Structure 1
Amino acid sequence: MDRFTRIYSIVLGLIAIGLMGLWLKSAWQPAVWELDEILVEDSMLSSYPYQFRVRAFSDGVATVSTPRSFDIPAIRFLEIIHPNLANKAQDDPKMIAAQQELINHQKRAQGLILAQPQVERVDWQLDTQWLADHGVQVGTR
């Protein structure tokens, strides 16, 4: 191997190692995995059709996925997980009960995460992937 090829190979190797290190640093999130495991292991949450997940954790703030936001109302989500609610009015008793069930599960997820000593706050992030997988197009702002 001539000198140029050797130096070129070393530089390429160092760049590859550096990029791999950056990828590992961004993907290695044991705090997120720990917090997410709390939600996964909870029997009340695991029986609900939507699985709340911890997406990120930084500086005491846990970001948890949610299927609703101001852009995607709860009713749209509820019609997906409970097809029998399709075309029901917002004030229909079954729709109100389903909304309350969603609220209870979201509060439970928030409470479990806030109960952890390292967590100071929970932020919510719309789960656009889950919605897209279920045929809901989410506009970008």
Structure 2
Amino acid sequence: MDDFTKRYALVLAAVAVLGLAWWVFNRDNVAAEINATLERDAELADYPYTFRVVRIDEGVATVTSPRSARVPVMQFLRTAFPELADVPVDHPDMTAAQERLVAMQSRAADIISDHAEVRAVEWQIDEDWYSSRGVYIDTAR
């Protein structure tokens, strides 16, 4: 190899090493660890929605949720459970589905809060989950 090619290869290798180092040090290992714990939980794994920690900032874990003031809970339930699509709001099956959602979100919050680096949980609507199922969420609110 000539001198130019050697220097060029050395610079490329240095850039690659710096990029890898930046990625490793900026990864949120705590969030990844908590997400792995959530995935291993048998009850949460059996639920059609996956709660995920997006980030942890100064002890506050931001977690995805299908619930929001912008999305009626019935929209989530009818999307996650197609068998409820035509069930009236006051039907016992719909009530049971709402109670299960509350229980699953509470379970996720408890698991997340049990981690030493988390002092609070903040919920964030999971727009990606809805859009992947063809549900539009008005982001203007």
Q: Which TM-score applies when normalising by structure 2?
A: 0.82
Structure 2 match to 1:112: 111
Structure 2 match to 1:5: none
Q: Does 1:131 align with 2:134?
A: no
> Aligned pair in 2 of structure 1 residues 117, 96: CA closer, same or farther (>3 Å)?
same
Q: Does 1:64 align with 2:68?
A: no
Ranges of 4+ aligned residues in structure 1 off by more than 6 Å: 12-21
Structure 1 match to 2:85: 86
Instruction: Give the paired residue count.
Output: 137
Q: Does 1:99 align with 2:98?
A: yes
Amino acid at match of 2:124: Q
Whole-angstrom distance in 2 between the partners of 1:86 and 1:109? 25
Matches within 5 A, 1:10-29: 25-26=25-26, 28-29=27-28
CA distances 1:55-82 after superposition (whole Å, capped 9, x unpaired): 1011111111101100111110110121
Q: Which runs of no fewer than 5 residues in structure 2 stay unpaired?
A: 1-7
Q: Cα distance, 1:89 vs. partner?
A: 2.2
Q: Which runs of no fewer than 5 residues in structure 1 stay unpaired?
A: 1-8
Structure 1 match to 2:4: none
Amino acid at match of 1:33: A
Sequence identity (%): 35
SS, match of residue 115 in structure 2:
coil
Q: Which TM-score applies when normalising by structure 1?
A: 0.82
CA RMSD of aligned residues (A): 2.3
